[in-house]
Structure 1
Amino acid sequence: MNGNSNEIALNKLIVLLILKEIDIPLTTGQITDIVLENNLINYFDLQQCLVELEESKMIVRFGNKEMYKATEMGLKTVELFISRIDSKIRSTIENYILKNKEKIRLETQVRSDIIKKSNTEYIVNLKVVEKDIELINLSLNVVSSEQAKLICSNWENKYYQVYDQIMNILIKK
C-alpha cells in the first residue's frame, strides 16, 4: 500500500467519522463545508471519496439535495479503523460537530426548492422533515422568481409559525 492509498483510505474514514458523529444526513455542501473549514480533505479528494464510498456501499445518497448518511457497513468500518485517524483530527471533528450540529440539523430539516415552469410560473416546494418523517410538504404556484425567493427566505425563518398556524386551523372543530 503506497502513501496515496493510505491518504485515500484516511479521507474515507474521516468522512465516515463525520457522518457517524453528526448522526443526521448531510448534503454534499455540508460535508464539503465541514472538511474545508477544518482543513481535513481538499475539495477534489473529497468528491472522489464520496463517489467511492457510495460505490462501496459505505454511504448512501438520497433525496433531491443529494443527502448522504453512513450505512451500517460504513459505521462498522469506521469503528473498526478509528485508531487510524489521528487523535487531533478526531478531536477537531468532535468539537466542530458539538458547536455546529444544531445549526446543521436545522439546515437539513427545513427545506425549500424552486422549480421554474415558465417565465411567469414557479413552483415553490416547502418541507419540514423530522427524523426522516415529513411533518409538512407544501407546494405553492407563484408568478415570479422574486416571490419564490421571498417565500423560501420567509420559510427558512418562519416555518415553525406557518406550521403552527396550519395545524391550529386544521385541528379546530
Structure 2
Amino acid sequence: MAGRGFIRDKLEIKFLILYITARVIEPIPFDTVLDLTLCDDAIDYFDFSECLADLVKTEHLTLSEEGLYAITEKGLRNSRICESSLPYSVRLRCDKNLAACNRKLRRKSQVKASVTQRPNGTYTAAFSLEDDMGSVMDLKLAIPREDMANMLAERFRKSPERLYSEIMRVLMSSDPEEDKDQ
C-alpha cells in the first residue's frame, strides 16, 4: 500500500472492486476498473492487479474473451455484505465516478456509427440513435471516400442530437414547392 488514503489492505481493495463492478451497467475493461478503483490514494497498480486477478480466480468476477470484467452472483452477494466496511468518503467518491462512467457507457450503447465498404468501392456510413424506448433514428449514407465516411461517423458520435434536430427542422419546414404556388 503506497499513498495516503482510507483503503488499508488488499481485502478492502477487493471490496472496492466488487462495489464498483456491482454498480456498472455493463461489463468493463481492465483500464476502466483500474480508473474507478484508483479513487483512493492508498491503492497502487500492483496491488490492484493482484486483487482483480484473485477475484476472477475465486469466481467473484468473470473475464470475457473480449477482456471485459463482470460481477458474478457470488460477487454480488459478497459485495452487498462487505460494502458497508468501505469508508464512506471512498464510497461517495466512487459513486460520483460510477455515475459519470455509467453515463458514458449508456451513451455509447445509444449512439452508434459504422463505416463499411460497398462492392463498388464507395462506403456506407450507418448512424443510429436510441433512447430508453428504442430507436429514434437510423440513417445510412453513401459516401465516396473512406476518410470522409470516418469523419462523418466521428462527428455523429460527438453530436447525434444535432443531426436529428437538423433533419427534423428540414422535414418540418414548409415545402418550397408549396410556397411558390401561394
Q: TM-score range by the shorter chain?
A: 0.5 to 0.7
C-alpha offsets along residues 12-49 of structure 1, whole Å, 9 cap, x if unaligned?
11000001122321111111122235536221111111
The one-letter code matched in structure 1 to 2:18 is: L
Could you say which residue in structure 1 is the equivalent of 2:68?
Answer: 67
CA change 1:152–1:67 in 2 (3 A) is: farther
Root mean square deviation, CA, Å: 4.3
Q: Identical aligned pairs, as a percentage?
A: 20
Q: Give the Cα separation in 2 of the matches to 1:29 and 1:8.
A: 19
Q: Give the Cα separation in 2 of the matches to 1:38 and 1:148.
A: 42
Aligned ranges 1:18-167 → 2 under 5 Å: 18-39=20-41, 41-64=43-66, 66-107=67-108, 153=154, 156-157=157-158
Q: Name the TM-score, length of structure 2 as normaliser.
A: 0.56
Could you say which residue in structure 1 is the equivalent of 2:18?
Answer: 16
**Retained in 1: the 8 A contact 2:39–2:90?**
no
- SS in structure 2 of the partner of residue 68 of structure 1: strand
Q: How much does 1:92 deviate?
A: 1.5
Q: Name the TM-score, length of structure 1 as normaliser.
A: 0.59
Number of residue equivalences: 150
The one-letter code matched in structure 1 to 2:28 is: L
CA change 1:38–1:85 in 2 (3 A) is: closer
C-alpha offsets along residues 61-107 of structure 1, whole Å, 9 cap, x if unaligned?
1142x111100000101111222211111121112222442114435
- SS in structure 2 of the partner of residue 13 of structure 1: helix
Structure whose CA Rg is larger: 2
**Structure 2 unmatched ranges of 5 or more:** 2-7, 114-128, 130-145, 164-182
- SS in structure 1 of the partner of residue 43 of structure 2: coil
Range moving further from structure 2, 151-160 or 49-58:
151-160
**Structure 1 unmatched ranges of 5 or more:** 113-127, 129-143, 162-173
Q: Give the Cα separation in 2 of the matches to 1:77 and 1:32.
A: 20
- SS in structure 1 of the partner of residue 26 of structure 2: coil
The one-letter code matched in structure 1 to 2:84 is: S
Q: Give the Cα separation in 2 of the matches to 1:111 and 1:42.
A: 35
**Retained in 2: the 8 A contact 1:26–1:108?**
no
Q: Give the Cα separation in 1 of the matches to 2:110 and 2:88.
A: 31
The one-letter code matched in structure 2 to 1:29 is: D
